[in-house]
Structure 1
Amino acid sequence: MPTMTVLATTAVPDHVRGALTRWMIEPAPGLYVGTLSARVRDELWSVVSASIGPGAAVLLHPEANEQGFTLHTAGERRRIPIDFDGLTLVAFRPQDEDPPNPPATTPTNPPPDPD
């Protein structure tokens, strides 16, 4: 039975976006929504996850569990889904620390003294 499926993408190749728009609508950039059978959904997800490149994707669809949905991810993301006693929670990966500020430099040729 077809169910509503939501797929969000970030920086995926154009051919992946084209494949998704054959089956789903794109109401906002990178956000795809459609009513898909489990077979079509699984085939689309295998295409997306196999060719994600430097991008990322998240798939949500109904599931018979406490939350009523399941979540799949592909690619590098700061948010990581974690199973916690049957519930999917989202953990945040720490941000990379910025490199320290370079020390202040002094001019190599200071202006001559006025006296």
Structure 2
Amino acid sequence: MPAMTVISATAVPDHLRGALTRWLLEVTPTLYIGTISARVRTELWNSLTACITDGSAVLAYPAANEQGFTLYTVGPQRRDPLDFDGLTLIAFRRGNSGQGIAKPI
């Protein structure tokens, strides 16, 4: 069943931006929103995680959990999502050292 999906992707290759705009609306630079199936969402996320070099991306979509959504990140980020007893909390890093971890869907 299609669900609202939000992707924020910075510093990604042009061909990947083109793939995202085939399925989602680019409402502001780097922010993509649309209603797509889980299969399309998974394929887009796999393409993003395979092509990310200097950039970063965040994926959010509805889920049957306490918060009502699931969040994934890839690439270097200052904010890292952490699981805390089933809730996603955001840990903020002071510096921009380290890499974000891609989490599979």
Q: Give the number of equivalent residue pairs.
A: 96
Counterpart AA for 1:89: L
Tell me if structure 2 keeps the 8 A contact 1:62–1:69: yes
CA offsets, 1:85-115, max 9 Å, x none? Answer: 100000011226xxxxxxxxxxxxxxxxxxx
Match of 1:64 in 2: 64
Separation in structure 2 between the aligned mates of residue 46 and residue 70 of structure 1, nearest angstrom? 16
SS of the counterpart of 1:40? helix
SS at match of 1:80: strand
> Structure 1 CA distance, aligned partners of 2:75 and 2:86?
23
Deviation at 1:59, TM superposition (A): 0.2
Confirm or deny: 8 A CA contact 1:27 1:33 kept in the other structure. Answer: yes
Provide the C-alpha distance between the structure 2 equivalents of 1:87 and 1:10, rounded to a whole number of angstroms.
26
Give unmatched runs, 5+ long, in structure 1: 97-115
Q: In structure 2, what is the Cα distance between the partners aligned to 1:61 and 1:95?
A: 28
1:85-104 matches, cutoff 5 A: 85-95=85-95
* In structure 2, distance between residues paired with 1:7 and 1:34: 9
1:41 aligns with 2:41: yes
Is 1:80 paired with 2:92?
Answer: no
How far apart in 1 are the matches of 2:55 and 2:95?
Answer: 18
2:51 alignment partner in structure 1: 51
Query: Given that residues 13 and 53 in structure 1 are in contact (C-alpha distance below 8 angstroms), is that contact kept between their aligned partners in structure 2?
Result: no
Identity rate, percent:
65
- Alpha-carbon distance between aligned partners in 2 of 1:69 and 1:35, rounded to the nearest angstrom: 14
Alignment RMSD: 0.8
Q: Which residue in 2 is equivalent to 1:111? A: none
Local SS of the residue matching 1:46: helix
In the alignment, which residue of structure 1 is the partner of 2:10?
10
Structure 2, gaps ≥5 residues long = 97-105
Instruction: Provide the rounded CA distance (Å) in 2 between the counterparts of 1:78 and 1:13.
Output: 21
